[in-house]
Homo-oligomer: A and B are copies of this chain.
Amino acid sequence: MNTARLKQLFPTLEEALFEELVKHGTVKEVKAGDTLLRVGQTIRSTMLVMDGIVKLYREDEEGKEFFIYHLDAGQACSLSMVCAAKHETSEVLAKALTDATILSIPLEFMDQWMGKYKTWYQFVITSYRDRFEELLKTIDAIAFSNMDERLEDYIKKQVDKLGSSLKMTHQEIATDLNSSREVISRLLKKMEAKGWLVINRNTIEWVKKD
């Protein structure tokens, strides 16, 4: 792992921290679709995303997965950065959307860095704040919008991250939105009729401009 790359990804951090990151961090390469963190799993380390995109989910008792937001390169899973008690368990499910590179830092450094490096706790706090605002937007979507709007938002977000040609099945989208395949298929058909997208087997081509 090279320091230059870290500086690029985390430009707000101070010099000494890059050395700490290099020294104590472990780089993990994961494949698209891999699970990085399960609900209930004990958190032993903080994840910084160095490359690729990670999807975060909330899960209910029956294992239904509800997509909440993406983490891009240069972002961190804020929940794993502050663990009041040791052996705290995860509230969320994290999966790699694309192949990804994760920098994993053992939890014991968190407390220490928090006191030692001003830029670290600023990073932690802005991470929290940003994720918090994403959650608020997620709440808006489910509280105030119908499925058609939510689906449009969802597709736009995916397109933002992955480009306009989405390799997903209708079932996968339905799962993320906690809906059902048939509903998604029908709504996609309507959007296709409006000329917003083109449906092919396993892929959706988003063509709407706005």
Contact = CB atoms under 8 A, between A and B. Distances in A.
Interface stretch (A47-55, A77-85, A151-159): A77-85
B68 A139 contact: yes
> How many copies of this chain?
2
A18 interface: no
Interface stretch (A30-38, A118-126, A182-190): A118-126
A136 B82 contact: no
A126 B91 contact: no
Contact of A143 (B66, B78, B126, B140): B66
Nearest to A133: B91
Contacts of A138: 139
Contact of A135 (B82, B125, B136, B178): B136
A150 to B, nearest CB: 11
Interface string A71-93: 00000001100101000000110
Nearest to A126: B84
B66 A144 contact: yes
Contacts of A140: 58, 60, 66
B58 A143 contact: yes
A38 to B, nearest CB: 15
A128 B128 contact: yes
A142 B144 contact: no
A79 to B, nearest CB: 7
A137 to B, nearest CB: 9
Given A142-B139, A143-B66, A126 B82 contact: yes
A121 B125 CA distance: 9
Interface of A: 58, 60, 64, 66, 68, 78-79, 82, 84, 91-92, 114-115, 118, 121, 124-126, 128-129, 131-133, 135-136, 138-140, 142-144, 178
Given A79-B132, A142-B143, 16 more contacts: A60-B143, A60-B144, A66-B143, A82-B126, A82-B128, A84-B126, A84-B129, A92-B136, A114-B121, A114-B125, A121-B125, A124-B125, A128-B128, A128-B132, A131-B132, A138-B139
